[in-house]
Chain A
Amino acid sequence: MTAPILTVTNLQKSFLLHVLGGKRVVALKGVSFTIPQGAFVGVIGPSGGGKSSLLKCLYRTYLPTGGSLDYLTANGAQIDLAAASDDAILDLREQELGYVSQFLRPAPRVTAVDLVARPLISRGVAQPEAREQATALLLRLSLPADLLDGYPVLFSGGEQQRVNIARALIAPPRLLLLDEPTSALDATNQETVLTLLQEIHAQGTTIIGTFHDLAVVRRLTDHYLQIRHGELTDAGPTATLVVAALSLTH
């Protein structure tokens, strides 16, 4: 058996809010789990339970308060994402770590096509070729053709979300973190995104995603983690989730 791509040990995250007189908000109270290489893991649980905090700790947008996040890199090195230097994290983000949030704010005054083409260009693809691929992907996600050269800042929530997804999937990372990637999409667009996710998973990307829709979790993922009140309350192969879901009375 190959080594897990990610080993999370006793991950804790709390926020000390000085502006609120030193109030402490606890988001994660010591979460441990491992993720096998190539897995598609669904993170489930009620809103405010810590799902997004978990993903943000893995991407280092949040600084973990305690615990370790041991990540196995493409060239076989172990990096603790909680303790690695900022430069090491930036390198990983550039090379193998991707993140799509439900709220990512697009850069202003960059067209949709250029925004999506950028990850390809930074991996050495020539600009015309990168723009062509970006255009194809955005059209596949049914972004209206006349918006391709528009600024995503001015798009609707669902259109922005599709641009974000296209940007993350155009050059699939080795580990992809998804925070409610289909929350603002209608049924047809959600279907397209789910199919795309299955495709890049089949190509070898390990995916950890939060989904509020258990049907999506059952359809896409092979493992699940349930996070409630900052604790890991359940985990296992998704095949067993039918039973587990019954106890998921939020």
Chain B
Amino acid sequence: MTADWLLHVAGLAKRYGRGCDYCYTLTGLAAATNECPRCGSLVACAEIGFTLAPGQTLGIVGESGSGKSTVLSCLYGDSEPSAGHAYFRPFADGQRDIFDITPGERRTLRNFQMGIVYQHPHRGLNLRISAGGNVAERLMATEWRRVGDIRERASALLGRMEVPASRMDDLPAFFSGGMQQRVQIAKALANGPTLLLLDELTTGLDVSVQAGVLDLIREIQAASGIAMIIVSHDLGVIRLLAERTIVMKHGRIAEAGLTDQILEDPQHPYTQLLVSSANV
């Protein structure tokens, strides 16, 4: 009944290995494994479904290996899903299954509609070109042509992310971890996407640096109305940023709900364990 949605994912599965007929039935929450006992294939995720409203932030939590990053990488097209659909509204003026598009369409999608920030900056950045160059590269993939304009826009974006103008021409390889994440965020936002994917963006950063990056994300949420999917193992990050949360375990959704409900009234045994183990 809800008015509209931006992204609708149904039946997403990703399997690594040769696969057999039993992979999906012999793995998951009840089986307490994501490795098929018959053929040894890894079911990174399966039966993943959710809907994301425009401007909404969805959190995906779970331990390492629960499949949460796989969901993002299938959506962004870094991995090829084994099954499922993902209908994305703004793409090609209508709803399109982004699991079923050509490489050219995928490029357009990435250039105009979707940004991603990886846990490891080297995946999202070219560390051998300048910070400004990284953002410019992204801009030039779309309609930006004039060098002066591109430089100005890149500088403005980096400035918003609190990367000083004096560092714009430096190589991000020599930046601190927090600063690298800021450059990644600037790059991901360069073309004004409708959906931003964030994969463990503060994992590995010092607590005070984490705080700065999280505050930046919150400012972006307040200012731009961009939708986000935030993958994190940290319930504190989810609590701070996400309105709705999915809890994953053994490649499946253990539980989904409003973030405050997940934290205060967790239903699934795993979520109860997760919440009672955390300090949020």
Interface residues of A (CB under 8 A from B): 15-19, 56, 60-63, 85-91, 107-109, 118, 121
Contact = CB atoms under 8 A, between A and B. Distances in A.
Nearest to A99: B260
Nearest to A59: B260
B249 interface: no
A91 B2 CA distance: 9
B243 A108 contact: no
Contacts of A16: 267
Contact of A19 (B215, B260, B273): B273
Contacts of A90: 53, 56, 243-244, 258
Given A88-B2, A109-B211, A109-B215, A61 B260 contact: yes
B1 A88 contact: yes
Given A60-B258, A88-B2, A90-B244, A15 B276 contact: no
Interface in B101-156: none
Contacts of B222: 118, 121
A15 B265 contact: yes
A19 B272 contact: yes
B39 interface: no
B257 interface: yes
Contacts of B244: 86-87, 90
B264 interface: yes
A107 B278 CA distance: 18
B2 A63 contact: no
B211 A60 contact: no
A109 to B, nearest CB: 6
Given A56-B264, A60-B261, A61-B261, A19 B276 contact: yes
Nearest to B264: A61
A61 B272 contact: no
B269 A19 contact: yes
Contacts of B83: none
B280 to A, nearest CB: 9
Nearest to B52: A87
A232 to B, nearest CB: 21
A89 B259 CA distance: 12
B79 interface: no
B2 to A, nearest CB: 4
Contacts of B272: 17-19
Given A18-B268, A61-B264, A63-B267, 15 more contacts: A17-B272, A18-B269, A18-B272, A19-B272, A19-B273, A60-B258, A61-B260, A61-B265, A62-B264, A85-B1, A85-B2, A86-B256, A87-B2, A87-B56, A87-B244
A63 B271 CA distance: 14
A108 B211 contact: yes
Interface string B1-21: 111000000000000000000
B240 interface: yes
A1 to B, nearest CB: 28
B51 interface: yes
B258 A86 contact: yes
9 contacts: A18-B269, A18-B272, A56-B265, A60-B261, A62-B265, A63-B265, A86-B244, A88-B2, A90-B258
